[in-house]
Amino acid sequence: MMTMLAVIIPFAAATSASAQTTRYYRTRTTVTRTYQRPSFYHRHRNLINMGVGTGAGLLLGSLIGGRRGAGIGALAGLAGSALYSYKIKPKRTYYYYR
């Protein structure tokens, strides 16, 4: 539980308080649109989720079945988290038109 909190707290603290992600700069003839870079978690969401799932499976498998159980648990955790990341809840790209 403490490990989970140690991993989650830096991601929660790294979020920006600014809700605006698009900024417009106006000159006499042009309007320039710049976008804020997505957070580390949003850029690497699938890898982070699969790493956490693999670690959880490894931990549970080693507690239940020793060294061999750790390998089986890691594979099961990786498979479950990959299924979650890619099939059940895939990344969505949102397009905003103005």
pTM for the complete prediction?
A: 0.58
Check residue 88 and give its pLDDT.
85
The predicted model gives 64-86 an average pLDDT of 93
Cα atoms found within 13 Å of the Cα of residue 15, Cβ hemisphere only: 9
* Short-list 6, 22, 84, 5, CA closest to 47: 84
Lowest mean pLDDT among 53-57, 85-89, 93-97: 93-97
Sequence spans of domains, the chain: 56-92
Check residue 10 and give its pLDDT.
66
